[in-house]
């Protein structure tokens, strides 16, 4: 609680209110931490695979995530511990930097069989118009999708 004297004549008191994790986050933490008060990298990996669908996640990836969360929340976390508490887990789940909502990938198909994975940020206004006609999303080339769709011309 903070106390401040205003203009020398009266005192104001402020309560510090911290956000507590919602009950469903607490339940998920308790389930994957196996009743403990800290979640290890193996337990975090199990959460990533089962709940978030990151089947290619490894224990090293989970350790890196835990280290990033701890560095973001605690000063000198590298020397303290390598497990997440309930509050750390809550901060990880709702962090836009560490846990983005959707990983959007676009697969590009060109005529000569050249295909690459691109993030959304690789596309710009300076690309030729022909480039965008060959862009396929989720593994389906644009040419295949246009064969199945019918267009209606305006008179």
Q: Which CATH number do you get for residue 61?
A: 1.10.238.10
Whether residues 28 and 79 fall in one domain: yes
The pLDDT of 123-133, averaged and rounded, is: 51
Residue 132 to residue 121: CA distance in whole angstroms? 14
Would 72 be classed as within a structural domain? yes
Whether residues 130 and 85 fall in one domain: no
Residue 144 to residue 133: CA distance in whole angstroms? 11
Find out whether 29 and 83 touch, Cβ atoms under 8 Å.
Answer: no
Higher-pLDDT residue of 153 and 52 is: 52
Q: How confident is the model at residue 109 (pLDDT cuts 50, 70, 90)?
A: low
**Nearest in space to 61 (alpha carbons), one of 88, 81, 41:** 41
Would 134 be classed as within a structural domain? yes
Whether residues 44 and 80 fall in one domain: yes
The pLDDT, as a whole number, for residue 9 is 73
The pLDDT, as a whole number, for residue 28 is 92
Number of structural domains (the chain) is 2
Find out whether 110 and 130 touch, Cβ atoms under 8 Å.
Answer: no
Would 83 be classed as within a structural domain? yes
Would 47 be classed as within a structural domain? yes
Structure confidence by residue, pLDDT tens digits, 64-97? 999 888 888 776 655 566 788 898 899 899 888 8
**Which domain covers residue 127, as residue numbers?**
105-148
Would 100 be classed as within a structural domain? no
The pLDDT of 100-113, averaged and rounded, is: 58
Whether residues 84 and 56 fall in one domain: yes
Q: How confident is the model at residue 10 (pLDDT cuts 50, 70, 90)?
A: confident
């Amino acid at each position: 609680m903070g106390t401040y004297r205003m203009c020398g004549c009266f005192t104001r008191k402020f309560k510090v209110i911290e956000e507590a994790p919602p009950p469903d986050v607490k339940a998920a933490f308790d389930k994957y931490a196996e009743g403990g008060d800290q979640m290890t990298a193996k337990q975090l990996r199990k959460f990533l695979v089962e709940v978030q669908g990151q089947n290619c996640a490894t224990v090293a990836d989970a350790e890196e995530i835990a280290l990033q969360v701890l560095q973001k929340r605690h000063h000198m976390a590298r020397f303290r511990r390598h497990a997440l508490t309930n509050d750390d887990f809550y901060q990880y789940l709702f962090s836009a930097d560490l846990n983005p909502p959707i990983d959007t990938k676009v697969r590009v198909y060109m005529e000569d069989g050249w295909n690459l994975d691109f993030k959304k940020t690789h596309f710009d206004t300076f690309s030729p118009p022909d480039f965008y006609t060959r862009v396929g999303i989720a593994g389906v080339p644009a040419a295949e999708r246009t064969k199945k769709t019918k267009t209606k011309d305006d008179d």
